[in-house]
Structure 1
Amino acid sequence: MATELAEFARTHAGWVLPLLCLSCLAVLVGLFSIQRRQLRALQTWEEERKRADQQRLEQSRAHLASEQAERDARLQREKQVQQSRQLMANAIATLQQLKRHSE
């Protein structure tokens, strides 16, 4: 069988060798095409991952900013309540002094 194949190759070397080379070239082109598609898919995946990471980061920043705004608003309300209490205490003290002086 091997000798028959070798004899066939010698007899038809004019077209067997170029056909074999073209077949190898076609396989290499196919493999190169597959590799390019895989590389493109990997790049697309990485871009999507980066966009998702960026979106998560922006959402996290927005959430932190919202929490900070809520804390600031709460502190402002507490400060206003404290000022109102102080004003009320001052008004009560003034009224008590006026009441004592009028007696």
Structure 2
Amino acid sequence: MKVIPLHDRVLLKRLEEQEKRKGGIIIPDTAKEKPQEAEVIEVGKGRVTEDGKVIPLDVKKGDKVLIGKYGGQEVTINDVELVIVKEEEILGKIT
């Protein structure tokens, strides 16, 4: 099954957090509440303005982004846990 988000929504897969950093330092649970990295799986066609124009999204399939730990709507598709967010919930692109 394939899911294509509508309008300005983006389908993401959260990337696994690293428990340890270089040098073997363990990350405490409180630090894990910072923004998470995710990969863009699919994007909607864009935001529709009041006059009906479609403004394309700034992110595209394959981009790596930062999102809030608890942002979006979690969904399971083909036994894979994903999250759907509005583009405005994306904090930034990782380049």
Q: Which has the larger radius of gyration?
A: 1
Tell me which protein shows more helix as a share of its residues: 1
TM-score by length of 2: 0.14
Tell me which protein shows more strand as a share of its residues: 2
TM-score by length of 1: 0.13
Higher relative contact order, chain-length normalized (CA < 8 Å, sep 6+)? 2
